């Protein structure tokens, strides 16, 4: 893609964020059961750095709350 507009870049970034959020919510639900709406909203509104940090904690955390500390 030799020419990408700023709007296309924004769209691609948004798509990556949405995909990462979905990929985080699925294992959260698998590991801890029903994910509260407040946590779902926090995840879907998060920045990529936060999503990556939380994803690294999934398999070591003892509780859903421990992931978001």
Task: Name the packing angle between helices 6-32 and 48-57 (round to 10°).
Answer: 20
Residue 1 binned pLDDT confidence (cut-offs 50, 70, 90): low
Rounded Cα distance, 27 and 24, in Å? 6
Rounded Cα distance, 43 and 45, in Å? 5
Predicted TM-score (pTM) of this structure: 0.81
Q: Which residues contact 31 (CB under 8 A, 6 or more apart)?
A: 58, 59
Summarised one tens digit per residue, pLDDT across range 24-61 is: 999 999 999 999 999 999 999 999 999 999 999 998 99
């Amino acid at each position: 893609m030799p020419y990408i507009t700023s709007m296309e870049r924004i769209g691609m970034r948004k798509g990556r964020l949405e995909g990462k959020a979905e990929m985080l919510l699925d294992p959260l639900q698998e590991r801890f059961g029903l994910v509260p709406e407040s946590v779902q909203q926090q995840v879907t509104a998060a920045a990529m750095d936060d999503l990556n940090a939380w994803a690294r904690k999934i398999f070591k955390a003892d509780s859903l709350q421990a992931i978001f500390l």
